[in-house]
Chains A and B, each alone.
Chain A
Amino acid sequence: MRFLSRPEELILLAVWHLKDNAYCVPIRAYLNKFTGKTWSFGSIYDPLDRLEKKGLLESHLSGPTRTRGGRSKRMFRLSPAGRLELCEIKALQECMWNEVTDLVPERQEA
């Protein structure tokens, strides 16, 4: 298993979640919704490219649509390796988090 950066991991999750509608704009919207922060397009393109290069994602061009100035979308999908990766991450994290039972934020002194 490879170690991924946090954004990569989140993006991989988003792609899995979005299934057939996984391209940059919904991915960004999904991430914005969960993290509560505004992700720039650039901060999504780079991890996407990297993940594709690592073989965890596959991509293809969709046909052009009218809504976006007639431009096609680059659609992403998890590759088998990506799927495996996500499973391993999930397993690892669950495994490690199970050890953590009494973690709470420190109380701030007033």
Chain B
Amino acid sequence: MKTCRGGPPRILEWILGFLHADRGEFTHLGDFHEGYDEILGKSGPAAARIWYVSQVLKSIPGFVRVKAYWSVVMLRNYTVISIRNLIRDRGSSLINLIGLAVGMACFLVILTYARFETGYDGFHEKADRIYRVLSRSEGAGSGWTTDTSDLLGSALSSRIPGVVRAALVYPAPGDVILEFGEGRFSQTGCFADESFLDVFSFPAIRGDGRSALSKPSSIVLTESAARKLFGREDPVGKVIGRRSMGGRRELTVTAVLKDVPQNSHLRFDYLVSLETLRAGPSASNMFGSWDICYFTTYVELAPGESRESVEALVPAMMSRAAGSDRDRSFMKFFFQPLKDIHLRSKGISGDSSDGDIRYVRLFMAIASLILLIGCVNHVNLATARSSVRAREIGIRKVSGAYRTQIFRQFLGESFVTAAAAGGLALGLIAFAVPRLNGLFGIHLRLRVFAFDGLGLWLAATVVFVGFCAGAYPALVLSGLRPVVPLRDYAPSGKKSAFLRNLLVVFQFSSAVTLMSATIVVLSQMNYVRSERLGYNREHVLVVPAREQETMQKLPALRAAFEERSEVVRAARSGSLPTRLGVRYSGMEMAKDDGTKVRLNFDIGYVDDHFLDVFEIGLAAGRDFRPGDKDVVLLNEAAVRELGWKDPVGRKFLGGPKEVVGIVKDFHYGSLHNKIGPMALFYDPGGAQISVRVRPGDLTGTISVLRSVFERHVHGQPFDFYFLDDAFNALYEKEVKTGRIFGAFAVMAVLIACLGLLGLTSFNVSRRRREISVRKVMGASFSRLVCLLNGDFARLILLANILACPVAYYVTSRWLREFAYRVPLKPWIFLLASLLSLAGALIVAGWETVRAALRNPAEVLRHE
């Protein structure tokens, strides 16, 4: 290879030049060049190149030594300078630090929460291959439901090759009593078939998990249930009693499982084998028909099998369904991924998960906003301070500092601040999380040192904040021309002032948006709860029967309750307005004009007192009467869907049940869903008594009811709940969410105000002399305050004007997801604006008033 210029290869020379940064000159390179040429002349290019490379390698240790030495020297200098600066502007530094720390703490807490929510069911080994089968019938008003027939599971696993196995679960309604010896405990649980423990990873700590659920009369306990019943004994092989509505059954404990993790959508204290149910008396009502849907089906797909390809095979299977006399292809199925169940199950009937991806997203958005607002504080203060640091930078530059050095210096300072804020944030989190858990009813655990835990995220946040908050000021400051700051005392920095204003506007618009959103969310939640339900939920006590003996006493008990003067009415029913009962899906019915529609009916089982107790009105026809047979009440929504002109007296589902009356629409279940077609069946054999009591002395009334109950029923303790509480439980999550939302919105506003405080106090301190001179020249107090506050007030006004449309858009989009929503009124946005303006004025006003009140002599004395 011949190079016309001679000398060593350029790349090597470049590396050597980098390593030998001798006083910024390149005389050494020249020397090496000559050395190279000499060897080239003597022993050829190969030897020369080898020699040169060896020179490169040899210079590395020295390079490292020099670098390390100088970085320590400079670091010492930087540290000293930044500590001096921090101390000089204690107030604003502290504000900055607190703002960042609070922002980071909020962000990390919400992040932990969001990760907890999105990590639901991730602990199952096959989590990616497990799906819950949702079904739906073609037709109006039919939504997805988790309820499927028991035939579905076996059909899927036997006829579709991609499905490895299917697990069936039947959630036992309500609590049951488990007893062993003297111990009796009320527990919740499920019936599950034998493949359940194969599909899901609930490891057994005692007994064999695989075969534990294969035989009838087997029960599997969780660790804590086992401890309650057996203490330290080994429960495997022991026989325990399970008392429920169906009577008492003896079950053999076959295994003990580890407790169900917090983040599992399946929750149970015990599992009973499905075979138990199959062998039981009510088996014929539950099993063996495609029309009876009691079970939740989970399928496990083969590894690598895609959901779509398996789903595509289902319609063909359903058209020739085993055990069915007709084409079932009108039933649609959807495989819902296991990990989606917790957060993406809104509107699926039969689902009990309370997560909501919308809230998780909302929270993440808030968290990021809060963090950003904190960063903005830092940026603003740093650029504002640039006039003070300008001279330092000028000196550094004149003394030969490179721009990158100054850039790195300021970025480094920002990282140090971020790290300090991170430490503070950690303290805040450790302090706040246990309290938050209590307040919001969530279960966050702190795992600072776990690899994927808080620690890593904290580090990431520190780096992110350090860079975000530091990059811009560092860029601006390092770009200052040395002449300017050294000549004039204060550079005007128009550009950075503009940016500062922009950022303040951004902060306050986000704060106002958040605040308006909070108000909207809270008022929506209030609205939901105060919405006319169509029934009266107050002053109703519900007394459930827990076992069969109590069930037999219920008629007498109901009558005895009604005899008391404290009781208005008592009804016995299987359903409550908060929780109706089963859903009949895809019912084919004829309209008046002969066309057929498919409807989903929610069915309630009630007696002839039910409408009176809950004060549900009748729109037409009559209420149930004692002794009625084959009668049904429809709601107005059902009549509307059916388009029946004269519904009373017609046959329901083609008979034998006859429609005797139409009840006015009332909200059964959650207000998230629209009122759909509903039918009430006459059933005087329900398992609970609802008692409407007279308002007034509630404790007295309860003790009266207790004595009546205890006279009639032995064995079961008197327990009851208020319908109101059950109703509120439907919205518990929402209330908590509202609280969290509100708390974090307040945080955002506070941090923004903190930033403003820092900025004003800094500005005021810079203008102290100006203020004094003005005062001496005769400026009035009010003029001074106006002068100092005018800028910020204008900015915040602008922020409000910008924020309102954004807030309107965001909140109206959010509200669109509710079936019943609060109207958006202008006062919401006005209130948020006023609050932010008031906050800002108080914060900024405090500083400015203090400055304006100062005696000018004190300030000017030092001149």
Contact = CB atoms under 8 A, between A and B. Distances in A.
Contact of A42 (B6, B34, B58): B58
Nearest to B37: A67
A69 interface: yes
Interface in A68-88: 68-69, 71-74
Interface in A42-82: 42, 45, 61, 65, 67-69, 71-74
B30 interface: yes
A18 interface: no
A108 interface: no
A73 B28 contact: no
B31 A23 contact: yes
B34 A68 contact: yes
Q: Is the interface of A mostly helix, strand, loop or mixed?
A: loop
A67 B40 CA distance: 14
Interface of B: 5-7, 13, 22, 25-35, 37, 55, 58-59, 62
B11 to A, nearest CB: 14
Contacts, number: 52
A42 B22 CA distance: 12
Q: Which of A23, A40, A41 is packed against the most chain B CB atoms within 10 Å?
A: A41
Contacts of B27: 23-24, 61, 71-74
Contact of B33 (A45, A61, A69): A69
B35 A72 contact: no
Contacts of A41: 28, 31-32, 35, 55
A68 B31 contact: yes
A24 B35 CA distance: 10
Contacts of B22: 45
Contacts of A61: 25, 27
A41 B31 CA distance: 8
Interface residues of A, number: 17
Given A65-B30, A74-B27, 13 more contacts: A25-B31, A41-B35, A42-B58, A42-B59, A61-B25, A67-B34, A68-B7, A69-B6, A69-B13, A69-B33, A71-B27, A72-B27, A73-B31
B30 A68 contact: yes
Contacts of B32: 41
Contacts of A73: 27, 30-31
A47 B28 CA distance: 14
Contact of A25 (B34, B55, B59): B34
Contacts of B5: 69
A40 B31 contact: no
Contacts of A68: 7, 30-31, 33-34
Interface in A1-58: 23-25, 28, 40-42, 45
Contacts of B28: 24, 41, 45
A23 B29 CA distance: 13
A61 to B, nearest CB: 7
Q: Which of A24, A25, A68, A73 is packed against the most chain B CB atoms within 10 Å?
A: A68
Contacts of A28: 35
B7 to A, nearest CB: 5
A29 to B, nearest CB: 8
Given A41-B55, A42-B58, A71 B30 contact: yes
B25 A72 contact: yes
